[in-house]
Structure 1
Amino acid sequence: MSTVSDAGLAQQLEQACDTLGLSVTSVQINLLLAYLAQMQRWNRTYNLTAIRDPEQMLVQHLFDSLSVVNPLVRKFDSAVTAKLYDIGSGGGLPGVVLAIMRPAWQVSCVDAVEKKMAFVRQMSGVLSLPNLSAKHARVEDLTPADCDIVISRAFASLNDFASLAGHHVSNDGTLVAMKGKLPEDEIQVLHQQGAWQVENVQPLQVPQLDAQRCLVWMRRSQGTL
């Protein structure tokens, strides 16, 4: 990317953080832009994402991931080290973004595709993020992790997400699914299954994105271990 496009992307990123009410340092801005540049570079060979245009990647990947930072922080005090799994992380969305924005959190990206986890491992080194790790595995095959937060972005239906990843959530933790429009049918199926209940559906406004987004917060049903 040219210096001009770098400056333009940086300005858009700073404006998006301001719109989202995010406190962001120049170091974090540079890390986010470096991650975007690395994603573009690796994408040519490893097909991390179908989106190729840097400005579209900025909005649909970075801004989308940044939109969940404050909602998560409000639930989990940023002064406390939270343990987070990003399930079906792909190229590290939202996991890498969360690791950059919350250095006190321990973030593990989980995906069954080795090349995508190789990329996340590379990002942990290149971006100097000791709080970021990658796990190449199917989520249901991993030893229960006792996480505060288990999040997914376009990974599976709510019921499948809860069934496959729920055992990684601590007793006081939560499952959080990043979704587009309100998934009413998925919520109904989840509640019929019985082990998990939707606690809250939180609308999100992603800067420069003309599409619906929401966070679905899930808790274990009372009496469910």
Structure 2
Amino acid sequence: MTQYLSFSDVQALPRLKRACESLGLVLDDKQYTSLLDYLTLLKKWNKTYNLTAIRDTDGMLVQHLFDSLAVVPFFQTSLVSRETSVVLDIGSGAGLPGVVISIAMPGTQVICVDAVEKKTAFIQHAASILKLSNLSAVHGRIESIEKVNCDIAVSRAFSSLDDFVSLADRHVKVGGSILAMKGKKPDDELAAMQQATWEVTRIDTLQVPELDAQRCLVHFRRTQEEA
């Protein structure tokens, strides 16, 4: 495994620790190193494969890593009572937030799905290099892959809320939930929702460390569970 000092911002580790402290996250040294090594891998692959639009060190640290870490406390709360749990990251791209969740929550199985093969190949490579046995990637369209039966389906700006919830529906087990990461509160998307199978239970404002931008997390649950 590479080491975090290979990530060019020498202040990355203390900044990461401060960010986790502000979010109430308790991670060990191995997890801190894995998070920064993930960014090192992403930065390397970006040079050839153009996985994300953000390429500078500071932007990747804040807008990729800190932004994804901001939702982890909500996953920990939702899954605390479950002996085993599965998170499905739909439209994962380069593994955001899926890879970050897998590192921060090693007891949770994380499946990242994306229609772009080079992105799922990168996630599989990261899982191998970082020894993340709880992380896997599936190349394909979410409407075409085999049913996952997850506890939580999540997306990070994957599509409109209506499309995301409709596509995620069959993959979420009874009693499971859907979480959508968004920028500012998506009032227009909420008003445009047409399907009645899922309802919004709450919308949390996310405080992303070092980021002066609006972020929120939209929570959905089924209006009626199957018997």
Q: TM-score, normalised by structure 2?
A: 0.94
Distance 1:14 1:78, change over 3 A: farther
Q: Does residue 140 of the first structure (1) align with residue 143 of the second (2)?
A: yes
Partner of 2:143, secondary structure, is: helix
Give the alignment partner of residue 84 of structure 1, picking from 84, 87, 91: 87
Determine if contact 1:49/1:91 at 8 Å carries over to the other structure. yes
> Unaligned regions of 5+ residues in structure 1, if any?
none
User: Whole-Å Cα distance in 1 between the matches of residues 38 and 81 of structure 2?
Assistant: 22
* Counterpart residue identity of residue 143, structure 2: E
List runs of 5+ in structure 2 lacking aligned partners.
none
1:25-104 aligned at under 5 Å gives the runs: 25-77=28-80, 80-104=83-107
Amino acid of the structure 1 residue aligned with 2:92? S
Q: 1:45 to 1:79 in 2, by over 3 A?
A: same
CA 1:172–1:115 in structure 2 vs 1: closer, same or farther (change >3 Å)?
same
* 1:84 Cα deviation from its structure 2 partner: 0.7
- Structure 1 length-normalised TM: 0.95
Q: Look up the equivalent residue of 1:28 and give its one-letter code.
A: Q
Q: Deviations over 1:190-213 (max 9, x none)?
A: 2x3212111110111000000011
Specify whether residues 129 and 3 from structure 1 end up closer, same or farther in structure 2 by C-alpha distance, changes over 3 A only: closer
Query: What is the CA-CA distance between 1:218 and the residue it aligns to?
Result: 0.6
Aligned position for 1:162 = 165
2:183 to 180, 201, 220: 180
The answer on whether the counterparts of 1:79 and 1:104 sit within 8 Å (CA) in structure 2 is no
Query: Secondary structure of the residue that 1:141 maps to in structure 2?
Result: coil
Give the aligned partner of residue 217 of structure 1. Answer: 219
Structure 1 ranges of 4+ moved more than 3 A: 1-7
Q: Is 1:16 matched up with 2:23?
A: no
* Aligned partner of 1:129 among 119, 127, 132: 132
**Secondary structure of residue in 2 paired with 1:160:** helix
In the TM superposition, what is the alpha-carbon distance from 1:222 to its structure 2 partner?
Answer: 2.6
Equivalent AA in structure 1 for residue 204 of structure 2: Q
Q: Distance in 2 between matches of 1:147 and 1:32?
A: 24
Between stretches 110-119 and 1-10, larger displacement belongs to: 1-10
Number of equivalenced pairs: 224
